[in-house]
Structure 1
Amino acid sequence: MTKKDEKTKKNAPLIGIDIGGSGIKGGIVDLKKGKLVGDRLRVPTPQPATPEAVAAVVAQVVTELSSRPDAPPADSPVGVTFPGIIQHGVVHSAANVDHSWLNMDIDALLTARLRRPVEVINDADAAGLAEARYGAGEGVRGTVLVITLGTGIGSAFIFNGKLVPNAELGHLEIDGFDAESKASAVARERDGLSWAEYSVLLQRYFSHVEFLFSPELFIVGGGISKRADEFLPRMSLRTPIVPAELKNDAGIVGAAIEVALTHKLAK
């Protein structure tokens, strides 16, 4: 392979898949820009979301994306996110998904199903990678904490642009409760909290995390980040806190970054 061919391969687009509780999203990612090539594809997550059922939908999404003109080669690796702790390709938590995933080798399952290399990463970690490389954390040195507020509280710990995986900061115990049981976006809706009331809970959570890690930057992701002007101005922290920039594409882009880094297809 010539140096030109190697450079082209490193800059080639890859497929990223984001497995969520309600939808499985996918797209073709331009790794030079951190953007999707063409439209994002979304298919409802099967219920119950068993490994076999989810693997079938992931295969469906990859097949559709692979048929597009801008798709990468059929043997190119695929990056996938999953809402749980992933260590050496194995699922070690399933707080918001079907418990049949516990101890499942999801890397092996999806690699066999897709018949191409697959790398799986925690969904919040993927969003963090995307924000650190292309979004609000681009170029920031030191510790960047990406906190996603959704069904639970996800977190990504980035240090000097590199991911420290599986930082489950949503499960910190604060005032005798798991933080995500009181301060997630779903908890706000469940408890009927106003933005002012919700901001008090977020202040308590972020102040605690700030004390523990002294980050250079907080980035708030999840669907609720679209309403950041309702709660971020009410908070008082030493650390700058900003909304995520990549929105709903962050997981897809982060999945593609992870597989590119693992297979040495990106710097």
Structure 2
Amino acid sequence: MTILGIDIGGSGVKGAPVDTVRGELLEERFRVPTPQPADVDSVVEAVAEVAGKFHGIERVGITFPGVVVDGVTRSAANVDKSWVDAPAAKLFAERLGLPATVLNDADAAGAAEVAFGAGRDQSGLIMMVTLGTGIGTALFLDGVLIPNTELGHLEIDGRDAELLASDRVREADELSWEQWAPRVERYLRHVEMLLSPRLFIIGGGVSKKSEKFFPLLDIRTPIVAATLLNNAGIIGAAVSAEQAAAGPGPQDPGAIEVDAAAQAERG
């Protein structure tokens, strides 16, 4: 079974077929810019453009930068508000003509890291934090996902945390690593106080530069960079699609698979 993983981000929509046993891309990923505005119709077409670059695909897993419950997108912090309460899995399945699974982007990235990367064989409470356009989070207790945590929107000093410490803010405000690191530390310390995780896994594009800011962070919890980097969302989306095909399980309670053919038969 060939599964395509597609990751919808604030700046790009990227995808590739995935080897879900090894956690590796089977082909070079293809990327298009995220439409602006990132409304439902435009993003669906961008996903279709990515999917159209690959052949022999039997099902698709798609990440979304927001809360996803039973295939419906419930929030839209970094995309157009038309996504609130949109039947995303149904829309993607109908447009692509493939069974589709949709889940939160940080949950997908975290699932990939727990299965194949920095969180593999880790027990206890593990937290994935993606620093990118916003701040995404994923929590895993003994390897089982607790979906849709959205802890990037915690209030820090009266502000939404991702408006303080995301990588987009670092770039937009032209902050040095020495200026930005205390903001990340403030956020991670707040999460430490609330949850006492055993490990932080830092993902997002900035994880490739972990040596620039990890040494500047003073926190008690061990912290590691994501090993799958920007491919984590693609891999996690494909793994979740495979799990959904096998039936609901503890790893994908926020995702639902929609079969395009079954939708067509129901009219």
User: What is the CA distance between 1:49 and its match in structure 2?
Assistant: 2.1
Amino acid at match of 1:94: A
Distance 1:48 1:201 in 2: 29
Which of 211, 235, 244 is the aligned partner of 1:253? 235
Amino acid at match of 2:54: L
Alignment of 1:60-79 (within 5 A): 60-66=49-55, 71-72=56-57, 76-79=58-61
Which of 129, 146, 156 is the aligned partner of 1:164? 146
Secondary structure, counterpart of 1:237 in structure 2: coil
Cα gap change, 1:57/1:260 in structure 2, threshold over 3 Å: closer, same or farther?
same
Partner of 1:142: 124
Distance 2:62 2:106 in 1: 12
Partner of 1:107: 89
Partner of 1:85: 67
Alignment of 1:111-130 (within 5 A): 111-130=93-112
User: What is the CA distance between 1:152 and its match in structure 2?
Assistant: 0.9
Partner of 1:183: 165
* Count of matched residue pairs: 249
Alignment gaps of 5+ in structure 2: 252-267
Amino acid at match of 2:180: Y
Aligned 8 A contact 1:16 1:256 in 2: yes
Which of 32, 39, 42 is the aligned partner of 1:50? 39
Distance 2:2 2:226 in 1: 23
Secondary structure, counterpart of 1:42 in structure 2: strand
Distance 1:221 1:139 in 2: 18
Which of 59, 62, 80 is the aligned partner of 2:48? 59
Secondary structure, counterpart of 2:86 in structure 1: coil
Pick which of 218-227 and 186-195 moved more: 186-195
Aligned 8 A contact 1:155 1:170 in 2: yes
Distance 1:151 1:251 in 2: 14
Amino acid at match of 2:234: I
Alignment gaps of 5+ in structure 1: 1-11
Secondary structure, counterpart of 2:163 in structure 1: helix
User: What is the CA distance between 1:210 and its match in structure 2?
Assistant: 1.0
Distance 1:49 1:194 in 2: 30
Please state if 1:193 is matched with 2:182.
no
Which of 133, 146, 149 is the aligned partner of 1:151? 133
Aligned-CA RMSD value: 1.6
Aligned 8 A contact 1:13 1:31 in 2: no
Aligned 8 A contact 2:2 2:59 in 1: no
User: What is the CA distance between 1:84 and its match in structure 2?
Assistant: 1.1
Amino acid at match of 2:70: H
Q: TM-score, normalised by structure 1?
A: 0.89
Q: Identity rate of aligned residues, in percent?
A: 50
Cα gap change, 1:134/1:88 in structure 2, threshold over 3 Å: closer, same or farther?
same
Q: TM-score, normalised by structure 2?
A: 0.89
User: What is the CA distance between 1:244 and its match in structure 2?
Assistant: 0.6
Please state if 1:16 is matched with 2:2.
no
Please state if 1:263 is matched with 2:252.
no
Secondary structure, counterpart of 2:17 in structure 1: strand
User: What is the CA distance between 1:190 and its match in structure 2?
Assistant: 2.5
Pick which of 204-213 and 45-54 moved more: 45-54
Distance 1:59 1:195 in 2: 37
Which of 204, 207, 215 is the aligned partner of 1:222? 204
Amino acid at match of 1:254: G
User: What is the CA distance between 1:192 and its match in structure 2?
Assistant: 2.7
Secondary structure, counterpart of 1:231 in structure 2: helix
Secondary structure, counterpart of 2:13 in structure 1: strand
Secondary structure, counterpart of 1:104 in structure 2: coil
